A and B are shown apart, each in its own frame.
Chain A
Amino acid sequence: MMRTILSLLAALMLWAMPALAQSSGPLRIEITEGVIEPMPYAVPDFVADGAAGAEFGRNIARVIASDLSGTGLFREIPAQAHIGRITSFDSPVQFADWRAVNAQALITGAVSIDGSGRLVVRFRIYDVFAGQELGSGLQFVGTQDGWRRMAHKVADQVYSRITGEGGYFDSRVVFVAESGPKDQRAKRLALMDYDGANLSYLTDSSSIVLAPRFSPTGDRVIYTSYETGFPQIYVLDVASVGRRALPTPEGTMSFAPRFAPDGRSLVYSLTQGGNTDIYRMDIASGTSTRLTTAPSIETAPSFSPDGSQIVFESDRSGTPQLYIMSAGGGDARRISAGQGRYGTPVWSPRGDLIAFTKQSKGRFHIGVMRLDGSEERLLTASFLDEGPTWAPNGRVIMFTRETQGAGGQAGLYSVDISGRNLKQVPTGTGASDPSWSPLQN
């Protein structure tokens, strides 16, 4: 009997051990290939309290959809395809209805007008397939006129929550609005939302203006104007539209200004005696410091986000190339290495890339490269592309594209740094030299 039990035990051990060995750990697989396609989402009209709010609710939802779909990263499921209806902001979401239309993200919201006439926008973001809310709901309060900005802010939150990087929808762009034929073109500074809405003008077209640049806080703009017959740098307060010229020595030309990250100083090019070099100016005192001393042309300086370095364009090697030097001047190292002419470098707000204009084989390109010149990627190609500017999140570049011929017109375009989603920015007029503001507060 004892022997039988022992043999039974042994048999059980033999049976159990391989099973244990095989199922000792979970199945492991590695996924290395995925797909790159826009994420489908649904944003039904925001639920409104009253009739006044209903229009806001609809319009805000449309602006959010425009923002998200405009990135190329998201694709809206049109309202006609919706099965589910959001009738109450606080009632639970029937995820099955949204799964059925393959909406991976769902944005619901409510609009109301409080006792003081202010607009209150609340919203939630859901991961439909996980059946849970992404983050927690938020609420914005603002004037009724500012409903677009509130919609942009909601879209920024959605974008940030899903992609993991900051949004750029609640931002503005200053640019040179152009009208008239090429040989007699009127130019003036214009300001608009990043998506072309709310266009306004900052200067009249009595004199030529060039290269406006936002301050790091977005409250001021510096630009070059030919108001006195010579190019000269002006600083303009966006709110009051008041402006003043910055002091430069007589008989010199100053241009290509750009703010330092601290907003208190700027770098610019100054041509004196046929030689162009880079200077740094303290805005309050108006004193300038020379940063380069080469006999070649140094221009288009741009600070790194931390303010420690400057990337600029120089033809000291024979052709225009890109160089990086310390913010205090001194030795510069060349970073562009390819064939062609490089110009108008701009440091990314993230600090990891430099956008530039490249002229090669009769074509113009907007491209990006790393700080050491590696991984150069040309994002566009056309008859004339130039003047890149970064979106606040460092993911999108806006630039000027001019069409060929006497009737050719300049317009603003944007492109993702992956080279995807190239599209024209609606300006309603000829436009060039854009400068993207930081996100508004």
Chain B
Amino acid sequence: MNTGQIISGAGHLALIGWALIGGVFRSDPLPFEVVEATAISTEEYAALIARQSAPEAAAVVDTPEPPAPGEAAPGLSSEADAAPESAPPEASGTPPPDATPDVSEVTPPAPAEVADAAPVLEVPQEDVAIMVPEVSRRPEPRPAPRVAPEPVAQPEPDVKVDEVARPEVTPDESAEVVQEPSEASAPEEAATEIVTEAEKPKETAPSTSLRPKPRPARPAAVAQETPTEAPKPTPTETPKPAPVQPKTDQNSVNAALAAALGGGQQTTERPAGPPLTSGEKDALRVAVQQCWNVGSLSSEALATTVVVTVGMAEDGKPKTGSIRMLSSSGGSDAAARQAFEAARRAIIRCGANGFNLPVEKYDQWRDIEMTFNPERMRIK
């Protein structure tokens, strides 16, 4: 026997002994209640039961004794009972007749005037709910460790959602200029991402940073640019100081903001609109691929993916002169050129009548980058 077996045996023995001696198998008595009881005799029990169950029957029942034989039958009288006395009803006095109505003052009703024109009915006004301003504080949502899968109704906004923030205006009688009362409004709150409390990072990032440099000019863009566009700075140019705004009126503030934020591009008044839905994108994709004919492409061009940019007019038609190849991969320059030409034909041909794009989202599809990837067409 080796040491391991000895140790194992000893250990097992100790375990078994502890189990037997230590009372592992001993069970404590179950808890019980003590109830007082008294012994009663059978008669008492029967009496007790009988009292509880059946109603007590009448002990003595009067039964008429049968007449004895030969006994005369009892005499039966047939006299009617005397009628009870009752007083005759007294006749009531005749009521005096009603007085004759006086008709001398009554004039016959005038005949109703009947107009030929149909009466004009007023259109009932719609029920208008009275807006009761909420004055009580809204209860804050209790933090929950999980997000319920059921969608919940969006809470009503505290203030009217608008594109710009407007302070509430209440009529001030003392003011010289009378302002129309209006409700306070503010743009809807939004964030670029959803951050839970657990994920919320500490704000260690610097609060300010340099603006990223603009994307370098596309090589072929120079010829396409319109002279109205702002000239691109060249490296040799020294940066000019920003023009000083003499008056901070509304327009100049607006222009300065737009220039600072978007390089003067966002000067249109129309909002950009929400992004295109996947359905709208799919419709565009299907429209283009109907005209993307790869049948006449070389096998090398069929292995070349090209990225094409196209500027779109507001009527959904591609601007032919703006179609350019941004990049290509997978083939030689010659193959990329063929692939680009096939892509360009597809865009122009199927866009000749205008792609079906929502005009209210024009800013979203003003420029489109299309990647033509023929990988799946090679095996067909």
Contact = CB atoms under 8 A, between A and B. Distances in A.
B370 interface: yes
A14 B161 CA distance: 13
B173 to A, nearest CB: 21
Nearest to B349: A129
Interface size range of chain B in the complex: 35 or more
A5 B296 CA distance: 63
Interface in A109-139: 127, 129-131, 134
B261 A99 contact: no
Interface string A34-77: 11111100000000000000000000000000000000011000
Contacts, number: 169
A22 B334 CA distance: 36
Interface in B265-296: 266, 271-276, 281, 284-285, 288-296
A15 B187 contact: yes
B365 A27 contact: yes
Of B301, B341, B377, the most chain A CB neighbours within 10 A belong to: B341
Contact of A34 (B262, B369, B377): B377
Given A9-B253, A9-B257, A104-B349, A164 B298 contact: yes
A11 B192 contact: no
B354 interface: no
Interface string B150-166: 00000000000001110
B299 interface: yes
A39 B372 CA distance: 18
B325 interface: no
B349 A164 contact: no
A198 to B, nearest CB: 27
B262 A20 contact: yes
A10 B165 contact: yes
B293 A36 contact: yes
Given A7-B167, A12-B254, A164 B297 contact: yes
Interface string B354-374: 000000000111111111111
A19 interface: yes
Given A9-B253, A17-B261, A130 B290 contact: no
A20 B296 contact: no
B367 A27 contact: yes
Of A9, A32, A127, the most chain B CB neighbours within 10 A belong to: A32
A38 B276 CA distance: 33
B250 to A, nearest CB: 8
Contacts of A129: 344-345, 348-349, 352
A31 B285 contact: yes
Contacts of A99: 352
A131 B124 CA distance: 63
B348 A19 contact: no
A350 to B, nearest CB: 9
A134 B377 CA distance: 25
A145 interface: no
Interface of A: 5, 7-23, 26-39, 73-74, 99, 104, 127, 129-131, 134, 162-165, 395
Given A19-B272, A20-B262, 5 more contacts: A9-B257, A10-B165, A23-B363, A30-B373, A127-B341
User: Which 4 A-B pairs give the minimum distances between C-beta atoms?
Assistant: A164-B338, A34-B292, A26-B367, A165-B298
22 contacts: A5-B253, A11-B187, A15-B187, A16-B266, A19-B271, A22-B272, A23-B363, A23-B364, A26-B366, A26-B367, A27-B367, A30-B371, A30-B373, A31-B292, A31-B371, A34-B293, A35-B289, A36-B294, A104-B349, A130-B320, A163-B298, A165-B298
